[in-house]
Amino acid sequence: MHSTLDPEPNPSHSASSNLPGGVCPFCGSALANPNACDRCDWVREGHAQMRMRHDPRDTFACLMSLFWPGLGHFYKGHTMIAVVLACLGVLCFFWSLAFLMFFGFLCLPAYWIAVAASAFFLPDLKHHAQHAHASGGMVP
Per-residue pLDDT of the chain in tens (140 residues, 90 and over written 9): 555 544 433 444 444 444 456 788 778 888 787 777 877 777 776 544 444 567 888 999 999 999 889 999 999 999 999 999 999 999 988 888 888 777 777 888 889 999 999 999 998 887 765 544 444 444 44
- pTM, two decimals, is 0.54
Map the chain to HEC letters: CCCCCCCCCCCCHHHHCCCCCCECCCCCCECCECCECCCCCCECCCCCCCCCCCCHHHHHHHHHHHHCCCHHHHHCCCHHHHHHHHHHHHHHHHHHHHCHHHCHHHHHHHHHHHHHHHHHHCCCHHHHHHHHHHHCCCCC
pLDDT tens-digit readout, 91-116? 988 888 888 777 777 888 889 999 99
Per-residue pLDDT, 29: 82
Per-residue pLDDT, 48: 40
Per-residue pLDDT, 65: 92
Per-residue pLDDT, 118: 92
